[in-house]
Structure 1
Amino acid sequence: AGGRSTFMVEMTELATILEAADENSLVVLDEVGRGTSTTDGYAIAQAATEHLHDEVGAYTLFATHHHELTDVAAELPRARNYHFSAERRPDGVDFEHDLREGPAEASYGVEVANTAGVPADVVQRAEAILADEADGRTTLTADDATPTSEIPASTDGGEASAVSRSSSDASTSDGGELPADILAELQSVDLAETTPLEALNLLSRLKSRVE
Structure 2
Amino acid sequence: MSKLIGMMGRKLGMTQVFAGDGQVVPVTVLEVGPCTVLQKKTIKREGYNALQFGFSPNPLSRLKLPEQGHVKKAGLSHGFRYIKEISVDDPDAFEVGQVLTLKDMDMSRLVDVVGVSKGRGFSGTVKRHGFSRGPMGHGSKHHRAVGSVGQSAYPSRVIKGRKMPGRMGGSRVTVKNSMVVDVRPDDNLLLVKGGIPGAINQLIYVRLK
**TM, length-normalised to structure 2:** 0.22
More helix by share: 1
More strand by share: 2
Higher relative contact order (CA 8 A, sep 6+): 2
**TM, length-normalised to structure 1:** 0.22
- Max Rg structure: 2
